[in-house]
Amino acid sequence: MKKIVFLMMLLAGLLLQAADLLPEPPKGFAWRQMPFIKASLLMPDDWFFSFIPDNREERYIYHITRENIEQKGVYVTGMDLRVMRGVPAKTKGRLPSEYSASAVGETEKKVKFTKKWEETKGLFKEIGFMYVDSSDEKESITVYRLYISNDRTGTVYVLTFEGPTRGWDDLWKSIGEVIFKNLSIDESI
């Protein structure tokens, strides 16, 4: 029992130390640490957080949404972060950056991108794109997706921010862009 209490205190101390390294969040946002990975995202104060772990497969899905998906089961406006660790072992030796490029290529066969880019930031290789999903007859959804690959650790992060196309510019400027410009992902994971 003493070991459990000690480990919990140690974990709490590490989380507090990690939180101390983050800058002050912009007004209307708070930092949200993602369980099982060394990452923090900004979350609007009145939004909801949910987490779906698959520890056996080392896959994690995090949601930051305007709607409460635990009650509704879906969301219209928000972000999800999908993390897949051990990519080379799960994809017959492909590097995370190769896996990401292939996934982006497959998506590009299905939808028309309105924007696409690639960038390297330290150990991270990024491929991003945007498109408009008009499959719902009532309202189209704009999708902004970013693949972040760490070939050294074998991890891929897939961040998707989406919301109604009507009002997208304001939504992106006031929330999406703020989240994406302030990503905090540790290169060691």
Strand partners, 81: 62, 159
User: Whole-prediction pTM value?
Assistant: 0.86
* 8-state DSSP, 11: H
The encoded tokens of residue 105 equal: 């290529």
Confidence of residue 13 (pLDDT cuts 50, 70, 90): very low
Domain boundaries defined on the chain: 26-185
Name the nearest CA neighbour of 25 among 175, 189, 160.
175
Rounded-to-integer distance, Cα 131 and Cα 112, Å:
6
Residue bearing tokens 């719902």 = 136
Q: Averaged over 85-94, what is the pLDDT?
A: 91
Render pLDDT for 46-56 as a digit per residue (tens, 0 to 9).
Answer: 999 999 887 67
First CA to last CA distance, the chain? 30
Superfamily for the 26-185 domain? Mog1/PsbP, alpha/beta/alpha sandwich (3.40.1000.10)
